Amino acid sequence: MKIAPLEAATFELNLATAFDNQDLTCYAIIDKAQDKSLLQKFENHGIGVRSKCLLPAALDSDIEDYAPHLLELSPLAADADIWPVILRGGAQHPASFTLLASGLSFDTLWDHLAAFSEILLPDDTDMIFAFWDPAVLGTLTGQASDFTLHVPAPVLSERQRSRLMHGIVAWWYWDRDGNPQQILPRDNVEAVAAHLVTLPLKFTQVQVDMLVEAGVPDQLLDMIKENQPQLLWEIPPSQQYKVIEKHLFEARKLKLFGMRDILNCICTALIYGDALQTNATIAALLEQVKVGAISFDVAMEQFP
């Protein structure tokens, strides 16, 4: 059974209920790499109390302008005049904004989240871990109500998830369709042992592969925007990701797995449209690609 995303009214009610508890503080994570103006906008509205870059290695450097920041929201954010500004910030900037409710102090929450900003790969190589990206966050936790996730299965184990959610009462983000999503901590046997999870997290190869796959549609879309933007002109921006993901699935059905072949297949689909399915010559060539008789490059050379 599918779990529906939150309705706007339900979302606002959940927020109001969460912050009826005076022991909770509202925080936001704003990624300045995605939007440099949003943090300043919040501060200009008097919403922010204090903020700090979440990447320890970037502190007091020029990189701070391209890094995520933890922002403590003013208690006055409970005012009806302020919340719409906050909620619009999330809905209008879904790739750069998430909202948290926590009983932790600013410094304690910063220490907790900053410790997750780096992970270890199976070969012990360390890398920056963009858990603050809503698309990554939903994939990590396996957000069942987010139908826009390319990889819906949870990447994190139950213990890792519980470790990430420690001290966080609720975590909200907006999906690609603009729907608010609410992540809540889980109470189970595995969560009891969450403190046994050491940091930085070390991912298995399967987890790494899942995270890499989660970003493939975005990578392909960026490549097309940079090299063949005219192919997207007639597609509304809000629909471009879905179109690219759809053609990615079709490329995989042809047993294309290299990024170059997949990109060429998607560009071809954008150019030819329905003719890929309705033209007998093209259909026959694609069938040969599928069975491995010819490469996609050879097929393209013979397209009418």
What pLDDT, in 10s, does the model give residues 132-181? 999 899 999 999 999 999 999 999 999 999 999 999 999 999 999 888 99
Q: Is the peptide bond before 200 cis (omega within 30 degrees of 0)?
A: yes
Mean pLDDT check: name the lowest of 17-21, 40-44, 98-102, 172-176.
Answer: 17-21
- Residue 241, pLDDT score: 96
Give the three-state DSSP class for 50: strand
pLDDT in tens, 204-218: 999 999 999 999 999
Closest CA to 186 of 171, 198, 207: 171
Asked if residue 55 has pLDDT above 70, the reply is yes
For residue 180, give both structure tokens: 């608010």
In the DSSP assignment, the letter for residue 228 is -
**147-150: long-range pairs with CB below 8 Å, 24+:** 147/2, 147/5, 147/175, 147/177, 148/175, 148/176, 148/177, 148/241, 149/175, 149/214, 150/213, 150/214, 150/216, 150/217, 150/245
Q: Say whether pLDDT at 128 is over 60.
A: yes
Average pLDDT of span 285-301: 96
Rounded to two decimals, what is the model's pTM?
0.87
Give residue 285's pLDDT: 95
**Mean pLDDT estimate for the chain:** 88
Check: CB of residue 263 under 8 Å from CB of residue 226: no
- Which tokens belong to 141? 């936790």
Residue count of the chain, please give it: 304
Q: Which position has the token pair 């209008």?
A: 92
